[in-house]
Chains A and B, each alone.
Chain A
Amino acid sequence: MKQPPAWRSGATTRAGARAARGGERVAFNATPLLAVKLPRWRSMLLLFLLFCAFTLLAGRAFYLQGGIGTDFLQRQGEARYARTLEVPATRGKVTDRNGVVLAASVPARAIWAIPEDVDLAPRELAQLAQLLQMPVSELKRKLAAEDRNFVYLRRQVEPEVAERIAALKIEGIHASREFKRHYPEGPTAAHVIGFTDVEGRGQEGIELALESTLAGRAGSRRVIKDRLGRIVDGDWQRMPVDGRDVVLSIDHRIQYVAFSALKDAVEAHRAKAGAVVVLDVKTGEVLALANWPSFDPNRRDRWDAATLRNRALTDTFEPGSTLKPFSIAAALDAGRVSPELRVQTAPGRMTIGGRTIGDAHPHGVLTVAEVVAKSSNVGTAKIALDLPAQTLWQTYTAAGFGQAPSGASAGFSGAVAGRLRPYEAWRPIEQATIAYGYGVSVSLLQLARAYTIFARNGDVVPLTMMRTEAPPAGVQVIKPETARAMRRMLELAVGDEGTAPAARIAGYRVAGKTGTARKLQNGRYVNAYVASFAGFAPASDPRIVVAVMIDEPDTARGRYYGGDVAAPVFAQIVAGALRTLQVPPDGAVDKVQGRPIEPPRPPLQRLAEVAWVAQ
């Protein structure tokens, strides 16, 4: 049986008895009544359990803070405040040679939606559709795709519009940053510059050719954001590399002159298309390169595939008479003929190997210079047939025909080589026709480049779309004296007796050659023409080469000759370009195309400063 607890049987203890007996005071804490006798193992057990618990805690703490579980917790923590941000690189600008922006990226917004989150009142829907410039039905259709959790409503929206959309505070509509490429010159320089896709990757022209230079590289950074979304600390970052700017050789003023002259001519002659190339003779820089029809690179929705083609680079044509100077130059260079040598071209027909070639008008006896000026096929054929085929081929090849121009680094994407068959395969009739520009195909860029051998001293330089400071070294094609002789002949070709008096301008001596070539369709020559003109100015010390090509001018009115169609375009462009370049005049100014001029009205100003006068 168990003993009763001591405090219950207090009276039986000695001290208790003493206190009871004598009223002797005992301190409370020493009261024997309170002296508890616990078994020692209980306290030990408790202590042990406490020890175990603390050990567990310490272990857990160690596990979480210093050991195995740490990574997980840190990741979880970071996931709540750290963000990896994409830092986009800005695409480089494209400018003309004077720093005028031709293409630049400007921030824009992409508006997107999570369809299932969007619940629009009809009024909001109308507002949103109006801001996005799309019909309500289209917006509804886009938002109806509930199975998708992401849909772009419109991309490349102006930031102001995006802000107004954000101000509507519609749930499920979001905006993200992106860039929009702007082309201030619009259709004028569209083919040169090309365009990018909606993601900012180059697709055509310079944008494609120099993609790696322009693009840059996006960076990223790891940051810590506070609850307000502000970036409060950075962890690491890889800086974005912005795309580099590209300075083209194009002069946007000359480009405009070329473009508008071409456009007017193509429209006036109801032609299918046209192209113009303007080169700097000294440096081989392309000062202007225009095509019509053109497109506005800012308005993607209105593009037509046919207008996107850079005809001056990618299309070849049989140039016809514009190639004659090269065969004449080959003969001059070989010492076979001199400019004064007389050639019988009567009766204006000539039969070679069973095929007959002919002139538009019979000319009789002509000097070699007159053969060029009057563009006699028979005379050219006779001179060329006197040459070894190899010599002619070599001159053509050295001038760049049949050769693709130096590649994409110079900015020519998609430039073609044209076609010049190997001379071993030429039959005499072919040698004759190739001499006056049939049976050989060239691009307008090649034609313009080839004319630099006359404009320079018989050498040719590689062309470039980039602004260059130092003129490159040329490769000699013909002798300098041959080039000089050809310059004089080509000046005669725009004289009163030549085929292109319309190419002349006041104040400058010009030189050049017309071409009117029948088009070959399905292996047959049809009643459609390519009118061309290639030339240079000022003739005394050439600065620019201009080549013009008009495809299929309207034949109905009988004005489809290079001299009627392409030469006036040349004159317009040369006048504008030389004024822009402030080239001092070298020619007579009292007569323009035989028309006398009255004295001027003051005030006098420097030539290039006044571009506009009162009507």
Chain B
Amino acid sequence: MIGRGTLLLVAALLVASGLSLVTAQHLARSLFVDLERARQQSKALEAEGNRLRVELGRASQPAAVEAAARGLGLRPVDAARTVFLPAGEGVAAQTGAAR
């Protein structure tokens, strides 16, 4: 026959293991919730990144730059206002300027 002590011990172990199973499950789930939240955050950040990239694209659009530049009283540079330097030398050899 199994002694009363052994029986109690086994019962205690059983209870402990049961409780730890519950705790582990709970822990796993709360970690999973955290993981899920992190995943969603990463998705949201990725989407935000895409949105910002689109916005950047919109802002750096040549048409937008041109409009802004014209607003500042600038106009596109042309060859007439460009100084051409011969290769290898720092001297302006052929020059051109505005009307």
Docked Cα-Cα span, A584 to B98, in Å, equals 20
- Known contacts A106-B51, A600-B97: A607-B82 contact under CB 8 Å: yes
Asked if A161 is an interface residue, CB under 8 A from chain B, the answer is: no
Q: Are B95 and A599 in contact (CB under 8 A)?
A: yes
Q: Which single residue of chain B is at the shortest CB-CB distance from A101?
A: B57
Given A106-B51, A507-B84, A597-B80; A614-B73 close (CB under 8 Å): yes
B side interface size, CB within 8 A: 42
**In the complex, which of the residues B36, B58, B77, B95 contacts A184, with contact meaning CB atoms closer than 8 Å?**
B58
User: Which single member of B50, B79, B83 contacts A104 (CB below 8 Å)?
Assistant: B50
In the assembled complex, the CB of A418 is this many whole angstroms from the nearest CB of chain B, namely 32
B81 touches A600 (CB 8 A): yes
Contact B32 A233 (CB under 8 A): yes
CB of B62 within 8 A of CB of A589, answer no
Cα A104 to Cα B53 in complex, Å, equals 8
Query: Which listed residue (B55, B76, B79) contacts A506, Cβ 8 A?
Result: B79
A600 to chain B, nearest CB (A): 4
Closest B residue by C-beta to A601:
B97
- Bound complex: CA of A576 vs CA of B54, how far in Å? 25
Q: How far is the CA of A231 from the CA of B30 in the complex (A)?
A: 10
Residue of B nearest to A611 (CB): B77
Q: How far, in angstroms, from A106 to B57 measured CA to CA in the complex?
A: 13
A604 CB contact (under 8 Å) in B51, B85, B94: B85
A251 to chain B, nearest CB (A): 10
Which residues from chain A contact B80 at a C-beta distance below 8 Å?
A: 506, 592, 597
- Whether the pair B77, A230 counts as a contact (CB closer than 8 A) is no
Residue A505 CB within 8 A of the other chain: yes
Least CB distance from B47 to A in Å reads 5
**B69 sits at the interface (CB 8 A):** yes
Contacts A507-B79, A584-B87, A614-B73 given; does A590 touch B94 at CB 8 Å: yes
Residue B19 interfacial (CB < 8 Å): no
B78 within 8 A of A: yes
Q: Are A106 and B50 in contact (CB under 8 A)?
A: yes
Of the candidate stretches A41-49, A72-80, A252-260, A397-405, the one touching chain B is A252-260
Q: Which parts of B62-99 form the interface with A (CB within 8 Å)?
A: 62-63, 66, 69, 73-85, 87, 92, 94-99
Q: Is A185's CB under 8 angstroms from B57's CB?
A: yes
| A36 adjacent to chain B (CB < 8 Å) | no
Nearest Cβ distance between residue B98 and chain A, in whole angstroms? 7
Contact at A188–B84, with CB atoms within 8 Å?
A: no
Answer whether residue A147 sits at the interface, using C-beta atoms and an 8 A cutoff: no
Enumerate A93-121 residues with CB–CB distance to B below 8 Å: 93, 100-102, 104-107
Q: Using A106-B51, A231-B36, A234-B32 as known contacts, say yes or no to A597 and B75 having CB atoms under 8 A apart.
A: no
Q: Kindly identify, within residues 13 to 50 of chain B, every residue whose CB is under 8 Å from any CB belonging to chain A.
A: 28-29, 32-33, 36, 46-47, 50
Q: How far is the CA of A382 from the CA of B46 in the complex (A)?
A: 65
Interfacial chain B residues near A100, Cβ < 8 Å: 57, 60
Query: CA of A259 to CA of B73 in the docked complex: distance in angstroms?
Result: 22
Is A101 a contact partner of B54 (Cβ separation < 8 A)? yes
CA distance A107 to B98 in the complex (A): 49
Contact call A598/B98, Cβ cutoff below 8 A: yes
Q: Which residues of A contact B98 (CB under 8 A)?
A: 598, 600-601
Bound together, the chains give a CA A607 to CA B47 distance in angstroms of 38
Contact of B79 among A592, A604, A612, A614 (CB under 8 A): A592
Given contacts A590-B94, A598-B99, contact A612 B77 (CB under 8 A): yes
Closest-by-CB residue of A relative to B51 is: A106
* Docked-complex contact B74 and A612, CB < 8 angstroms: yes
Q: Are A612 and B63 in contact (CB under 8 A)?
A: no
What residues of A have a CB within 8 angstroms of the CB of B9 in the complex?
none
Whether a CB of chain B sits under 8 angstroms from the CB of A613 is: yes
B28 / chain A contacts, CB cutoff of 8 Å: 233
Pick from B36, B51, B84: contact of A589, CB under 8 Å: B84
**Chain B residues whose CB sits within 8 angstroms of the CB of A584 once the complex forms:** 87
A residues less than 8 Å from B69 (CB atoms)? 612
Interface centre among A253, A589, A599, A607 (most CB of B within 10 A): A589
Q: Report how far A60 CA is from B23 CA in the complex, Å.
A: 31
Q: Which residues of B contact A252 (CB under 8 A)?
A: 61-62
7 closest Cβ contacts across the A-B interface?
A: A506-B79, A184-B57, A256-B62, A600-B97, A101-B57, A597-B96, A612-B74
17 residue pairs bridging A and B, Cβ less than 8 Å apart: A101-B56, A104-B50, A186-B61, A186-B63, A188-B63, A226-B29, A230-B33, A230-B36, A260-B63, A507-B79, A597-B80, A599-B95, A599-B96, A600-B92, A604-B85, A610-B82, A612-B74
Add 8 more A-B contacts to A575-B78, A589-B94, A613-B77 (CB < 8 A).
Answer: A233-B28, A589-B82, A590-B94, A598-B99, A600-B95, A600-B98, A613-B81, A615-B75
